Chains A and B, each alone.
Chain A
């Protein structure tokens, strides 16, 4: 198997070592002079999880047993292996070997002993599984729009980083996409309220987390192991090799990505692999004003979808950073923006915020203010009076308790770009509000008004609207109602 990772072997961290100790049966732990044989790893598989710092390692080794008791020593100095998670399973022949006990010696951290009873002399395949932290993966994306911004090429990557202290050579790599609710499972396992999980002792918590994750992986394995059967990329000398495929497989609420072939990622290194590519995905540009999401500014957006039409839709897009460029028409790129996207399911929208466009001017001008429907309350009574325009009352012992503020606004948009622009404006109001306009506003929710317009190149657009806000005792609702401008 050809690996394309440059090799940097670190002798000091020759960890996760399995040794068969030569001494027979009842081994004395105080013994200092020792002889052992070291069976090497036959295969190793990493299942890396991106929402928690946890990775399931499954390795197989072939060991020669002799009839009777066989002590095995497993050690993992200078690694981040969770000792409570280490398990030994005899794969072949399962019926002739039996694991009798596991011992963690008090004087030697990061080591354990297994005693295996064998009914035969000969080779057997064992599987060792454990959790390690320090191996992580993340997704990232590069989006390059074409010069006239009609389409976009989106490329996805996965980057695997190994800081676990151990080099897993020629490992089959699987990446889990999705968030497993470990806290709940820990709570379930420990039969305590979820809120108390965080107060648990670190060690206890870790053990429960391991259990919970193991349960998940047990389920995940069954499906993914088959899918993972490596189809080796033909990398025989001198041929044009293709980038490795990453096989995506849905699994319950999660997705498992399996990297084609095997990988070696030395400790401290990270490696970025190509995950998918979508060319010429149709792109829509929209200008949006949504202060809750994008701040108090009109931003330019690239909109597309994770679907077939966009030449995507084969996999959800895991959380990651998207870097957006545009072909600048002069044989190069223009950098537009960088943004973190949350998990995007298949079929859902991909929205990239490119920030403010200096060629589009967006202003809100307050044109007029007035007050109406002013109510006073006569002191120490339950008598309320509406202040009329004509009937002026000289009620000395009265105070204003309710009124309405009427404010007229002009929303101005100027488009200096060479194309017509679609603008969507959302304004959110607290309180009892009437939104009065000759435009065609819609309610996005009970307190948010949405306006849409198109501004032609070189043109200015002015949108007029009036807000009437009830105050004091006039407040009867907490919502926005739309009124036609004719009621003005």
Chain B
């Protein structure tokens, strides 16, 4: 086994090698040397840290009574030598082992532990180190039901091994989800299913927000109306066990007929941001062309308060039409600072504003999502008539900017 390991090391030129040097330390660095090559008994790859990958391996090292030199080398791999932790696993029949010192030879990716053993025997040692170029990322595959009310969300971890080292039968842990037991080969990329969430309820939203999404057609005053799937990371929505890590989400939609699988179509993809529990992951799927929102500033009246101090009364009009065959809920978002900059220019100051009586949104602002700078309203848009004609609604936002100069 040891010999096989050695041959493998030579072949790969990169394997981590642990050798116990026989004889006195004086002889150890002579040209002729004999070393034993204990194989890895167990490898764990800890991927729970955002920045770094920790590899832990256990080997059984034969020791003579007294002082022993244990050589650990890592040619062509990116082990951070400062992070190497060497621990002896205590066992009933294992000799008592003490680490005396560590020596680092020049111009070599290696170190030598000097350990002292109470008896001759085999010791199980655990070596931990941070390994570069062994990285992980996450991605998701989501299949929405044909009616777009739920989706099946699969979460994958993608492990990329460019570390120039292979790990047979490694145990992998992402920090959440199950423990995987998988061999990780050289230059291999492995995609592992971490979790599968069935029938996660989704909210399909249409949003207009001139500050964030701007105009689709400025000449016609048409706002861009992106469509999103919103996934809430909480227990009510079948999630909420852990934060959802950042990753690309590919979204598909099931077909309508008898065999939904067969009709599955690709809807688009978006980056899913890091989503803590109870937060929402909003996935941008594309621009809705059938929901038309025209935004104009209908009224702009300035009133002097004193000297160069003014109040400014504004009415922003949203003319909304839904050409879809289903009713749609539209989120209308207006950033007040952006609005002030539009009519007065940017003076760098925060905006003091008041909501006026002529505001016509039925339910008032969404308290949860609105704040000092941004108002969020919802508008329910009925489906288009059978003749394809849409009902045109004019929704007004009445704002007075206070004390501007």
Q: B104 interface residue, CB < 8 Å from A? A: yes
Q: Is the CB of B28 within 8 A of A332?
A: no
Q: Is the CB of A361 within 8 A of B279?
A: yes
The verdict on A366 contacting B373 (CB below 8 Å), with A269-B105, A392-B306 known, is yes
Task: List chain B residues, Cβ under 8 A from A244.
Answer: 100-101
Stretch from B42-50, B194-202, B261-269 at the A interface: B42-50
Stretch from B64-72, B185-193, B321-329 at the A interface: B64-72
Task: List chain B residues, Cβ under 8 A from A161.
Answer: 104
Given contacts A330-B44, A371-B402, A392-B306, 18 further A-B contacts (CB under 8 A): A4-B100, A5-B114, A6-B105, A239-B116, A240-B117, A243-B98, A244-B100, A321-B82, A323-B82, A323-B85, A325-B85, A334-B49, A366-B371, A393-B306, A399-B405, A400-B307, A405-B349, A416-B276
Task: List chain B residues, Cβ under 8 A from A6.
Answer: 21, 25-26, 28-29, 69, 103, 105, 112
29 intermolecular pairs with C-beta atoms under 8 Å apart: A5-B101, A6-B25, A6-B112, A7-B28, A142-B85, A144-B85, A240-B98, A240-B116, A241-B116, A243-B98, A269-B106, A271-B102, A271-B104, A323-B83, A325-B85, A330-B173, A332-B44, A333-B85, A334-B46, A335-B49, A335-B52, A358-B276, A369-B373, A370-B352, A378-B307, A398-B307, A398-B308, A414-B277, A416-B243
Assembled-state Cα–Cα distance A323/B278 (Å): 33
0 or 1 for each of A291-325: is its CB under 8 Å from B? (1 = yes): 00000000000000000000000000000010101
* Residue on A nearest B274 in the bound complex, by CB: A358
Assembled-state Cα–Cα distance A219/B20 (Å): 45
Q: B118 interface residue, CB < 8 Å from A? A: yes
Q: Is the CB of B352 within 8 A of A399?
A: no
0 or 1 for each of B294-310: is its CB under 8 Å from A? (1 = yes): 00000000001111110
Q: With both chains docked as a complex, state the minimum distance between the C-beta of B181 and any C-beta of chain A, in angstroms.
A: 13
The verdict on A140 contacting B82 (CB below 8 Å), with A274-B99, A367-B371 known, is yes
The verdict on A243 contacting B350 (CB below 8 Å), with A361-B279, A371-B402, A400-B307 known, is no
The verdict on A270 contacting B104 (CB below 8 Å), with A240-B116, A334-B46, A371-B403 known, is yes
Q: B13 interface residue, CB < 8 Å from A? A: no
Q: Is the CB of B306 within 8 A of A333?
A: no
Is the contact region of chain A dominated by helix, strand, or loop, or is it mixed? strand
Q: A273 interface residue, CB < 8 Å from B? A: yes
Q: Is the CB of B103 within 8 A of A270?
A: yes
Assembled-state Cα–Cα distance A159/B103 (Å): 9
Q: With both chains docked as a complex, state the minimum distance between the C-beta of B369 and any C-beta of chain A, in angstroms.
A: 11
Q: B126 interface residue, CB < 8 Å from A? A: yes
Task: List chain A residues, Cβ under 8 A from B279.
Answer: 361
Q: Is the CB of B46 within 8 A of A335?
A: yes
Assembled-state Cα–Cα distance A6/B70 (Å): 11
Task: List chain B residues, Cβ under 8 A from A271.
Answer: 101-104
Q: Is the CB of A273 within 8 A of B276?
A: no
Chain A: how many interface residues by the 8 Å CB criterion? 72
* Residue on A nearest B374 in the bound complex, by CB: A366
Counted as pairs of residues, one from A and one from B, with CB atoms less than 8 Å apart, the total is: 186
Interface residues of A in 388-435 (CB under 8 A from B): 392-400, 403, 405, 407-408, 414, 416
Task: List chain B residues, Cβ under 8 A from A408.
Answer: 372
Interface residues of B in 242-290 (CB under 8 A from A): 243, 274, 276-279
Assembled-state Cα–Cα distance A240/B123 (Å): 14
0 or 1 for each of B352-373: is its CB under 8 Å from A? (1 = yes): 1000000000000000000111
Q: With both chains docked as a complex, state the minimum distance between the C-beta of B73 and any C-beta of chain A, in angstroms.
A: 13
Q: A387 interface residue, CB < 8 Å from B? A: yes
Task: List chain A residues, Cβ under 8 A from B50.
Answer: 355
Q: B332 interface residue, CB < 8 Å from A? A: no
Task: List chain B residues, Cβ under 8 A from A242.
Answer: 98, 100, 116
Q: With both chains docked as a complex, state the minimum distance between the C-beta of A450 and any C-beta of chain B, in angstroms.
A: 24
Contact residues of A with B, CB < 8 Å?
A: 2-8, 140, 142, 144, 159, 161, 235, 237-244, 267-274, 321, 323, 325, 328, 330, 332-336, 338, 355, 358-359, 361, 365-371, 374, 376-378, 385, 387, 392-400, 403, 405, 407-408, 414, 416
Task: List chain A residues, Cβ under 8 A from B278.
Answer: 361, 414
Task: List chain A residues, Cβ under 8 A from B52.
Answer: 335
Cross-interface CB contact of A4 among B82, B114, B308, B372, cutoff 8 Å = B114
0 or 1 for each of B21-51: is its CB under 8 Å from A? (1 = yes): 1000110110000000000000010101110
* Residue on A nearest B21 in the bound complex, by CB: A6
Interface residues of B in 169-219 (CB under 8 A from A): 173, 179
Task: List chain A residues, Cβ under 8 A from B117.
Answer: 240
The verdict on A376 contacting B309 (CB below 8 Å), with A271-B102, A338-B83, A416-B276 known, is yes
* Residue on A nearest B372 in the bound complex, by CB: A366
* Residue on B nearest A140 in the bound complex, by CB: B82
Q: Is the CB of B305 within 8 A of A387?
A: yes
Q: Is the CB of A376 within 8 A of B100?
A: no
Q: B379 interface residue, CB < 8 Å from A? A: no
* Residue on A nearest B303 in the bound complex, by CB: A392
Most chain A beta-carbon contacts within 10 A, residue among B106, B277, B279: B106
0 or 1 for each of B218-245: is its CB under 8 Å from A? (1 = yes): 0000000000000000000000000100
Assembled-state Cα–Cα distance A192/B400 (Å): 69
The verdict on A414 contacting B83 (CB below 8 Å), with A5-B25, A369-B372 known, is no
The verdict on A400 contacting B405 (CB below 8 Å), with A269-B103, A269-B106, A385-B306 known, is yes
Assembled-state Cα–Cα distance A269/B29 (Å): 13
Q: With both chains docked as a complex, state the minimum distance between the C-beta of A103 and any C-beta of chain B, in angstroms.
A: 35
Cross-interface CB contact of A332 among B126, B276, B349, B372, cutoff 8 Å = B126
Cross-interface CB contact of B308 among A323, A370, A400, A414, cutoff 8 Å = A400
0 or 1 for each of B110-152: is its CB under 8 Å from A? (1 = yes): 0010101110000000101010000000000000000000000
The verdict on A335 contacting B67 (CB below 8 Å), with A270-B103, A366-B373, A370-B352 known, is no
Q: With both chains docked as a complex, state the minimum distance between the C-beta of B109 and any C-beta of chain A, in angstroms.
A: 13
Q: Is the CB of B403 within 8 A of A395?
A: no
Q: Is the CB of B403 within 8 A of A240?
A: no
The verdict on A369 contacting B307 (CB below 8 Å), with A6-B25, A6-B69 known, is no
Assembled-state Cα–Cα distance A403/B65 (Å): 82
Q: Is the CB of A396 within 8 A of B307?
A: yes
Assembled-state Cα–Cα distance A142/B307 (Å): 66
Cross-interface CB contact of B105 among A3, A238, A268, A392, cutoff 8 Å = A268
Task: List chain B residues, Cβ under 8 A from A335.
Answer: 46, 49, 52, 54, 83, 128, 130
Q: B165 interface residue, CB < 8 Å from A? A: no
Q: B14 interface residue, CB < 8 Å from A? A: no
The verdict on A367 contacting B102 (CB below 8 Å), with A325-B85, A334-B49 known, is no
